[in-house]
Amino acid sequence: MTVAGKHANSVPSRTVTDRTTEQLVNELKQRADTLIEALPYLRQFHGKTLVLKYGGNAMTDESLKHAVMQDLVLLGYVGIKCLVVHGGGPEISRLMARVGKEATFVDGLRVTDAETVELVEMALVGKISKQIVQHISQHGGKAVGLSGKDGGLMLARKLATTGPDLGLVGEVAAVDPEILELLTANGYTPVISSTAADAQGNTYNINADHVAGWIAAAARAAKLVMLTDIRGVLRDVEDESTLIPTLRATEVRELMGSDRIAAGMIPKLEACLHAVENGVERAHIIDGRLPHALLMEVFTDQGIGTMIVPD
Amino acid sequence: MTVAGKHANSVPSRTVTDRTTEQLVNELKQRADTLIEALPYLRQFHGKTLVLKYGGNAMTDESLKHAVMQDLVLLGYVGIKCLVVHGGGPEISRLMARVGKEATFVDGLRVTDAETVELVEMALVGKISKQIVQHISQHGGKAVGLSGKDGGLMLARKLATTGPDLGLVGEVAAVDPEILELLTANGYTPVISSTAADAQGNTYNINADHVAGWIAAAARAAKLVMLTDIRGVLRDVEDESTLIPTLRATEVRELMGSDRIAAGMIPKLEACLHAVENGVERAHIIDGRLPHALLMEVFTDQGIGTMIVPD
Amino acid sequence: MTVAGKHANSVPSRTVTDRTTEQLVNELKQRADTLIEALPYLRQFHGKTLVLKYGGNAMTDESLKHAVMQDLVLLGYVGIKCLVVHGGGPEISRLMARVGKEATFVDGLRVTDAETVELVEMALVGKISKQIVQHISQHGGKAVGLSGKDGGLMLARKLATTGPDLGLVGEVAAVDPEILELLTANGYTPVISSTAADAQGNTYNINADHVAGWIAAAARAAKLVMLTDIRGVLRDVEDESTLIPTLRATEVRELMGSDRIAAGMIPKLEACLHAVENGVERAHIIDGRLPHALLMEVFTDQGIGTMIVPD
Amino acid sequence: MTVAGKHANSVPSRTVTDRTTEQLVNELKQRADTLIEALPYLRQFHGKTLVLKYGGNAMTDESLKHAVMQDLVLLGYVGIKCLVVHGGGPEISRLMARVGKEATFVDGLRVTDAETVELVEMALVGKISKQIVQHISQHGGKAVGLSGKDGGLMLARKLATTGPDLGLVGEVAAVDPEILELLTANGYTPVISSTAADAQGNTYNINADHVAGWIAAAARAAKLVMLTDIRGVLRDVEDESTLIPTLRATEVRELMGSDRIAAGMIPKLEACLHAVENGVERAHIIDGRLPHALLMEVFTDQGIGTMIVPD
Amino acid sequence: MTVAGKHANSVPSRTVTDRTTEQLVNELKQRADTLIEALPYLRQFHGKTLVLKYGGNAMTDESLKHAVMQDLVLLGYVGIKCLVVHGGGPEISRLMARVGKEATFVDGLRVTDAETVELVEMALVGKISKQIVQHISQHGGKAVGLSGKDGGLMLARKLATTGPDLGLVGEVAAVDPEILELLTANGYTPVISSTAADAQGNTYNINADHVAGWIAAAARAAKLVMLTDIRGVLRDVEDESTLIPTLRATEVRELMGSDRIAAGMIPKLEACLHAVENGVERAHIIDGRLPHALLMEVFTDQGIGTMIVPD
Amino acid sequence: MTVAGKHANSVPSRTVTDRTTEQLVNELKQRADTLIEALPYLRQFHGKTLVLKYGGNAMTDESLKHAVMQDLVLLGYVGIKCLVVHGGGPEISRLMARVGKEATFVDGLRVTDAETVELVEMALVGKISKQIVQHISQHGGKAVGLSGKDGGLMLARKLATTGPDLGLVGEVAAVDPEILELLTANGYTPVISSTAADAQGNTYNINADHVAGWIAAAARAAKLVMLTDIRGVLRDVEDESTLIPTLRATEVRELMGSDRIAAGMIPKLEACLHAVENGVERAHIIDGRLPHALLMEVFTDQGIGTMIVPD
């Protein structure tokens, strides 16, 4: 059975069965109550922009994937402008393996030659982005895939490193949000891949967490949400019960200066920091392994995961 | 404690208590699931117009009242343009009693002299409409009260009757939806009282059910929802279990020609018939005694009450 | 014969009688000359906003009433955006008398309990405002009645007094002119009643003169015109020949500090002062007992009554 | 003393002299009454287009000239879109005399060679049109002079005649009202000279009455008004008391077929006929020797001169 | 040296050398003459839409590639809205070879399994489209890459064949040009890859020639231009001198029914036929091996290659 | 043969003759190359405003005249907003001679009485401007002739001189570019004559070079181009080989203070100086005797004539 079969647009025709039962009315009432509980959050975020960094299990698990798409489409219907930035490590590795290209690492960072960056772009733009666009479409939304090259969205530059040359690993040099505004103002959800060219036309692979942070700042987003495979920022990386619910910008800096943080968390914290220090109200690192984690974050007070706020 | 105190705009600050418990996550998950279940209905009604005839218990019971306002504000946030038409029998009677004006009835219809219509207008426009406007505002929406006189919305004419003269009882002669379109396009919910003047400037009291039907047709609404104090149209008026879930226009005509229908149901059926025969897709007579009956109707397949559809 | 009969929209068909007579041509010439004399004022006020505080005899005398409506409609046709703020003391008193509610006064100020404020709102919003709207409509204009609650126009707060508690007597805490701009930009004349709610949803009765002054300031009006039952501000309240034609803001303050001013004039002067000290170019207190006093004020150099200007 | 000195934009400062006298109030009241009498006409013509054929004494007499300009500016302020088409016989003759160019006539029609048409264009476009534009400006309006060549307004073709060749005498082949709509929608009054080029670039002199009729039809005007030096269409050309107040299109045709009509009236009647048979509601031939004849026509029931209406 | 180095946006600073020589003036004059010769074509195509099918040598040869990009950017600057549809056979084959995927053919058509369509999409969307977007950007234009999935541009369906199952080879079921209009109206050039999904979410590879024809029809293009590696449609496929300069739709049908046409020409002719029979004025099959063949086609009378016109 | 015959809008039908010859392809290729060379200039000036001072031989020589019109129309099609300011000395002299009006000069400046200024206005506005408008139209553009009086474009004042009274010789007191913006935004080329009235309604003749400089500054033009009958600014007025290619504002001032400059060059330099000191990026004095000198200037690096830039 196809996805479309499960999530099709049509509303089933009204049926009568059991409609007199009290049980049904109770169910409906619960449903209505839950919708009403969402009201304060609708008020708060209506017309605002939200950037979702989409990655990890939520991108590979079929069921989680559809839950994220539903969340995005729903947020669109309630008047929140969503931008999606996606990663794609596993898909890149899979494609590299298929073409027999071996990965080389220097100090844990992948050396990216011209052939690698071409494979990265094909995997991200030609496969993952199109899947996301297609899934949003199937759930009733309208999306357009963009790389940094499209509409002049992002200009890249070679990442400055002190160690050996990593090749075509880049960073965001500039963001021009014009194409994002055009698309969101007309009801399209931009789906952004983390590749871009520099002024000379060289293509770079950029860390997707960073791209999300920089896009959020340029688009003056109200919220940046990063889906990860962990509960949030932990005091003790071994112990999920040590979740830190809220961090101010200064505390994030301190934490990054310490050795208490998992390596994979660093770029996420950098992105959140950049965002909240450039006009984004709140950034969140949340557990994408929970279905509908995005909705949970937007539509509850307690929130989930770690929230990062400006000083 | 005031309503505003309970439903204020601010989202409570994030608290940490118990956030690690599995129970919370389960609750959040249920909430998200319910929101997701609303998705097909959001798709279906986004950008459409809904006319609510508001009356009965839902207008007098404090708790039901706030539930209706929440429903309206929520529908507005999810992109449905709502128009409210309200009645006000009890409030009219109360004001008449206060000024010592006795009601006269001919064949069950109230004889409306100039003094009466003035009291009717004061009660509807000066009291009930303002309360609704104010409540919508408190729940985070923006509303504007209108009578048929405002912005040339409705032209009335004297109701043609075969019996004795009823005085200033009118019917809708014409609707100019321009002011409704201006307001809804700019995010305001029109709240419409059922009084209007004829070309000579005489004010008439018009049946609010009729007004709702005519407004729905003129505004090319997708849905007309009438809140009543009964489960819907019943086969046996004594037995609520004989609810008729769906009626085609032709069936409504037959039913009105029979003697199986309660007197109070007649104007509602007439209004629904006018609506569905003039472009409204579906009209609903539902039980306003259920809190959030409006949301239940919009966001479920089974619907509640009786649905009237074109032939 | 109804008003509509006299003031209907149709232009009578061309008749030939007497058209050759010199007398007719002379009459037409005089009419044309008068229109031409209006030209400098058209130039001056075209596209500007004018706030009219409407009250006193001009609101109770049938003939004066229609003269005011004609003035408003005419000003609309020549490109002046009019806002009407109305009072309604006599109508309030009449309704209170009908329900047998006795007025209590403390130091000359009416103690306003919940029941009173409800009657005030019904009389102002449900009766007077609708009459004005209807009359404007009959003279060919389009109007919409608004209270402070509609479209979030005004936020009230309890009037701070040093004496005993006056109950629900309020003052303007904030004005949001958005709904006014929407309506006037689309050719509608807003007709504003002087009731509004506070943040907790309590309804207050506010002095209509004050409302006019605050609305004029918020709407960046070029002119505020207050219709009264006196020739203007008098040096000697007993002697109408002591009219003061012009007052600067500072002079108004001095005058209010003296005991030479009638009590009823105080809120009017306060309103004019607030207006001219907040961007309104000129405020006028004029004699509403003169038919077409508003036109006289707008379309002559000498003006009538007292003009208040910024320092 | 210059015109501007007399008609400057500034409103004289408020003076107090005599303001207490009853006489002043009476004068003001009369003025207001006259303005109010204009109300039905404002309603009728607001937003409509009026084409004025301007010529004869009204164009040469200094005082009449300014009266026409005032009328145009006033009509503009009250929301009527005016287009002016002007003639210029005397000025053309004067310029021809100055350059020593002798006029040749064939059957009463001027033979127009290349040199003549050049002089015609200079007199109309370079002198008369600029004067009108300048006068409108001095009275507070904004005008732009146009010939048929500007913005592709009119395409001419050689006038087909059965007699000898008249040279560069043309007729209207096509009107493109785009530039007129752009200008009137932005508050400019187009002032149109009756010269235009054909597809080959040859310039023609066209009868200005005709141009007015064709422009009125193309601009979907509500009214075409032709200023002449006679009271209107007369039954007996010798006797001004035989004015025909109203003519239907069919009657105009009959009249033109008879020999009872003055030669100079023929092109005016042809223009009016073309206008009312192509969507213009009413055409008027009125006496431009009366100051403010245009206002008199627009703002009275009886009208002046002869009105031509469709069958 | 990079492309950007050669084609950068900056205009070199004015130099003086040799500016007095007659030779320079002659060169400039020739340049100006050539620009002037383009004037009739600017008039003809200004504001119109042109669809370019981009493929063959023009897509692989570095120098030809940049010439096409320059042509597109230039056409954009002179007010022609360009849409690009690209193919990508060689790149697809290259990627398949790299992953060791062997191509299977049935009757000359490639059997496309799920793995193949994934590789096709990566090569087209993730590599070729991005290169085109990037090159347009480097030459001063703004482009956005789209597949059929983006913005709901195209709906695919399985290609109906009489022979054995070809797998995921599709055809265009529907085109929604909304996203194209949004982008071109805002100055972006859409670059379209020929993959799309069906209603069930299955991805198909569609013939790019067909996509170009269907897009041209849906976008109401004035011109469809197909870049090929041959001079045009030949009477004798062996002899380039037998070029057919013009074909009417009926002649195309006859030709396709004969055996005189090269297999690769069939889809191109089908696309052109669909276009001209659905509102496109002219379709062209031209020789992409000539640098600037697109400009040559647009800016000359003779045109190049074969022009197909409606009957 | 008429101009229109040579420059008609229609694109000749496609012919086959010789299309197979290599020679044709070579010609087309050269044409395409030349267009491509224009690309950097299109990028640079797209959407910018250019003011052309049109005069001298380019206005009297038939062939040069059409070349200028073609240049203007072409610049319009490639998105450059052109404004034309024209002079007309010879035409004025010719008209003065025809009416037998003798010119009087004081210190080389023409004494301008009322009769003279009237002739100037007729020659400029009624003849030259209309010719330019007509020629632009014949080449496929849309133009509207304006004097300083039209749309309130320019206010004049009497030129202040130390010597004897020159009569109605004026200078620019103010420019209101509103009408220019309205016209250019809608695709019309304004053609501006150098006459204007002062606040009292007196008409003045203004130096056309000055008008061009002031219009360029008010319209925030990117470029002012003055067509003259000389190669540019010369170091030695006797020797055309001493052309100065570039001058900074300061150098212009120095040059004007010296005696090395031809009298006729002074107002041109003053105009250029005013322009570049008020926001215009570059002003050019170029040789209008070269056909298409305007295109040559815009579309080459070397430029022609003298370029004046801000300090």
Residue-wise pLDDT tens digits, E161-174? 888 888 999 999 99
The per-residue pLDDT for range C273-295, each reduced to its tens digit, is 999 999 999 999 999 999 999 99
pLDDT classification of B9: cutoffs 50, 70, 90? very low
Which of D291, D233, D301, D261 lies closest to D62 in space, CA to CA? Answer: D291
Name chain C contacts of D299, Cβ cutoff 8 Å: 31-32, 35
DSSP F238-289: T-GGGB--EEEHHHHHHHHHSS-S-TTHHHHHHHHHHHHTTT-SEEEEEETT
Percent of chain D whose predicted confidence (pLDDT) is above 90: 72
Is D21 contained in some domain? no
* CA separation for the pair A52, A223 (Å, rounded): 8
Give chain F's count of helices (H) and strands (E). Answer: 13, 14
pLDDT recorded at residue C181: 98
**Residue B185 one-letter amino acid:** A
Cα dist. F120→A152, D117, F87, F96, F278 in Å? 53, 18, 10, 8, 29
What's the pLDDT at A245?
94
All residues of chain F having their beta carbon less than 8 Å from the beta carbon of residue E69 are: none
pLDDT values of chain C reduced to their tens digit, one per residue, 311 residues: 333 333 333 343 444 444 446 787 888 888 889 899 999 999 999 999 999 999 999 999 999 999 999 999 999 999 999 999 999 878 998 999 999 988 787 766 778 999 999 999 999 999 999 999 999 999 999 999 999 999 999 999 999 888 888 899 999 999 999 999 999 999 999 999 999 999 999 999 999 999 999 999 999 999 999 999 999 999 988 888 899 999 999 999 999 988 888 888 999 999 999 999 999 999 999 999 999 999 999 988 777 899 999 99
- Put simply, the answer to whether F130 touches D121 (Cβ < 8 Å) is yes
Mean pLDDT lowest among C111-120, D219-228, E101-110: E101-110
Average pLDDT of chain D to the nearest whole number: 90
Q: Which of B5, B126, B138 sits opposite C125 (nearest CB)?
A: B126
Helix (H, G, I), strand (E, B) or coil at D86: strand
Can you give the length of chain D in residues? 311
Comparing C-alpha atoms, which of E283, E145, E287 is closest to residue E217? E283
pLDDT in tens, A141-183: 999 999 999 999 999 999 988 888 889 999 999 999 999 999 9
Tell me which chains share at least 3 CB pairs under 8 Å with chain A. Answer: B, E
- Whole domain around residue C274: which residue ranges? 47-309
Which residues, listed in sequence order, are joined to residue C53 by a DSSP beta bridge?
C85, C226
Nearest alpha-carbon partner for D132 in D163, D87, D174: D87
Q: Which residue type occupies F92?
A: I
Would you place residue F11 in the very low, low, confident or very high pLDDT band (cuts 50, 70, 90)?
Answer: very low
The string of pLDDT tens digits covering residues A26-69 is: 888 888 898 999 999 999 999 999 999 999 999 999 999 999 99
* Residues of E in Cβ contact (< 8 Å) with F38: 31, 35, 74
Enter the tokens of residue D175: 């009107």
Chain A residue nearest residue E121, CA to CA: A126
In chain A, whose CA is at the least distance from the CA of B240? A20
- Name the pairing type of β-strands E246-248 and E203-206: unpaired
Amino acid identity of residue D58, one-letter, is A
In a domain, B243, yes or no: yes
In the numeric block, the tokens 């749309």 are attached to F151
Phi, psi dihedrals of residue B153, rounded to the nearest 5°: -60, -50
**d(CA F89, nearest CA chain D) in Å:** 16
CA-to-CA dists, residue A81 to A185, A186, A190, D189, angstroms: 8, 10, 10, 45
* Mean pLDDT score of chain B: 90
Q: pLDDT-derived band of residue B261, with 50, 70 and 90 as boundaries? A: confident
Query: Residue written as tokens 């919003």?
Result: C125
Q: Which residues of A touch B29 (CB under 8 A)?
A: 290-292, 296
Nearest chain A CA: its distance from E289 CA (Å): 25
Q: Which of F126, F146, F149 sits opposite D122 (nearest CB)?
A: F126
What pLDDT is attached to residue F240? 84
**DSSP bridge partners of A196:** A204
At E256, list the tokens: 């396709």
pLDDT per position as a tens digit, F187-210: 999 999 999 999 999 999 999 999
State pLDDT tens for residues C19-63. 446 787 888 888 889 899 999 999 999 999 999 999 999 999 999
Residue A70's closest chain B neighbor by CA? B36
Contact E252, E267 (CB under 8 A): no
Q: What percent of chain B has pLDDT over 70?
A: 92
Q: Report the domain count for chain A.
A: 1
Strand order in the sheet with F143-146: F143-146, F189-193, F81-86, F49-54, F223-228, F282-287, F306-309, F246-248
Task: Please report which confidence band the pLDDT of residue B165 belongs to, taking 50, 70 and 90 as the band edges.
Answer: confident
CATH number at residue F102: 3.40.1160.10
Inter-chain touch E199–A125, beta carbons under 8 Å: no
Q: What is the per-residue pLDDT for D171?
A: 96
pLDDT at D253 over 60: yes
CB contact under 8 A, D127 and F133: no
Asked if residue B10 has pLDDT above 80, the reply is no
Among residues A197, A193, A214, A207, the alpha carbon closest in space to that of A84 is found at: A193
Question: What gap in Å lies between CA B60 and CA E155, rounded to an integer?
Answer: 52
Distance from CA of C285 to the nearest CA of D (A): 15
Give the Cα-Cα-Cα angle A260, A262, A265 (nearest 5 degrees): 120
**Residue-level pLDDT at F103:** 78
Report the pLDDT value the prediction gives residue C186, as an integer from 0 to 100.
Answer: 96
For residue C242, give the DSSP letter. G
Residues A195 and A129: their CA atoms lie apart, in Å, by 12
Could you list the beta-strand ranges (E) of chain C.
49-54, 81-86, 105-106, 109-110, 143-146, 154-158, 169-175, 189-193, 195-197, 203-206, 223-228, 246-248, 282-287, 306-309
3-state secondary structure chain E: CCHHHHHCCCCCCCCCCCCCCHHHHHHHHHHHHHHHHCHHHHHHHCCCEEEEEECCHHHHCHHHHHHHHHHHHHHHHCCCEEEEEECCHHHHHHHHHHCCCCCCEECCEECECHHHHHHHHHHHHHHHHHHHHHHHHHCCCCEEEECCCHHHCEEEEECCCCCCCCECEEEEEEECCHHHHHHHHCCCEEEEECEEECCCCCEEEECHHHHHHHHHHHCCCCEEEEEECCCCCECCCCCHHHECCEEEHHHHHHHHHCCCCCCCHHHHHHHHHHHHCCCCCEEEEEECCCCCHHHHHHCCCCCCCEEEECC
B150 vs C138: CB contact, 8 Å cut-off?
A: no
Q: Scanning the structure block, which residue is given the tokens 């940046």?
A: A224
A to B contact (≥3 Cβ pairs closer than 8 Å):
yes
Q: Rounded to an integer, what distance in angstroms lies between the CA atom of residue D154 and that of residue B71?
A: 59
Asked if residue E206 has pLDDT above 80, the reply is yes
Mean pLDDT for D89-95 is 88
- Cβ contact A36–B301 (<8 Å): no
CA distances to B134, B167, C263, E141, F166 from F163, rounded to whole Å, are 76, 89, 69, 57, 8
Strands (E), chain D: 49-54, 81-86, 105-106, 109-110, 143-146, 154-158, 169-175, 189-193, 195-197, 203-206, 223-228, 246-248, 282-287, 306-309
* Residue A22, domain member (yes or no): no
For CA atoms C254, C258, C262, C263, give the dihedral sign: positive
Identify which of E92, E97, E94, E52 has the alpha carbon closest to the alpha carbon of residue E71.
E52
Q: Which residues on chain E are in Cβ contact (under 8 Å) with A150?
A: 133, 143-145
The closest alpha carbon to A40, from B140, B34, B4, B299, belongs to B140
Q: For residues E69-93, give the mean pLDDT.
A: 94
Greater model confidence, E88 or B184: B184
In this model, does residue B4 exceed pLDDT 60?
Answer: no
- In the DSSP assignment, the letter for residue A243 is B
Residue F24 included in any domain: no
- In the prediction, which pLDDT does E165 show? 87
Report the residue count for chain F. Answer: 311
Residue A225 lies in a domain: yes
Q: Are the Cβ atoms of D143 and F151 closer than 8 angstroms? A: yes
Q: How far apart are CA C264 and CA E13, in angstroms?
A: 76
Distance from CA of E260 to the nearest CA of F (A): 21
**What pLDDT does residue C43 have?**
92
Task: Output the pLDDT for position E9.
Answer: 38
- pLDDT tier, D108 (very low <50, low <70, confident <90, very high otherwise): low
Residue F34 in domain? no
Looking at residue D90, its pLDDT comes to 85
Chain D residues near any Cβ of chain F (below 8 Å): 2-5, 95, 98-100, 118, 121-127, 129-130, 133-135, 137-138, 142-147, 149-152, 179, 182-183, 186, 188, 195, 197, 199-201, 203
Tell me if E73 sits within 8 A of E139, measured CB to CB: yes
pLDDT (tens digit per residue) in F223-253: 999 999 999 999 988 888 899 999 999 999 9
- Give the pLDDT score at E21: 63
Judged by CB atoms closer than 8 Å, whether chains meet at D290 and C30 is answered as: no
In a domain, F25, yes or no: no
pLDDT at C49: 98
pLDDT one-digit tens code per residue, D172-208: 999 999 999 999 999 999 999 999 999 999 999 999 9
Identify whether the C-beta of residue B219 lies closer than 8 Å to the C-beta of residue B83. Answer: yes
Predicted confidence (pLDDT) per residue in A77-121, tens digit: 999 999 999 998 789 989 999 999 887 877 667 789 999 999 999
> What are B36-82's pLDDT values in tens digits?
999 999 999 999 999 999 999 999 999 999 999 999 999 999 999 99
Nearest CB to A39: which of B16, B42, B70? B70
Cα–Cα distance, E84 to E52 (Å, whole number): 5
- Report CA-CA distances (Å) from B250 to B247, B262, B274: 8, 18, 12
E62 pLDDT higher than 60: yes
Tell me the residue type at D299: F
Is the predicted pLDDT of residue A7 greater than 60, yes or no? no
Region E47-56: mean pLDDT is: 96
Mean pLDDT estimate for chain E = 90
Q: How confident is the model at residue D12 (pLDDT cuts 50, 70, 90)?
A: very low
Any domain includes A250: yes
Nearest-CA distance B278 → chain C (Å): 27
Asked if F126 and D125 touch (Cβ cutoff 8 Å), the reply is: yes
Q: Which amino acid belongs to residue F278?
A: N
Q: How far away is chain C from the Cα of B217, in angstroms, using its nearest Cα?
A: 22
Contact D28 C301 (CB under 8 A): no
Shortest distance, CA D160 to any CA of chain C (angstroms):
38
Q: What is the pLDDT of residue E16?
A: 45
The average pLDDT across E156-162 equals 91
Statement: residue D254 has pLDDT above 60: yes
**Among candidates C33, C40, C70 on the partner chain, residue whose Cβ is nearest the Cβ of D11:** C40
Candidate from B126-130, B192-196, E88-92 with smallest mean pLDDT: E88-92
Q: Please report the pLDDT score of residue E50 as a whole number.
A: 98
Q: What is the pLDDT of residue C108?
A: 65
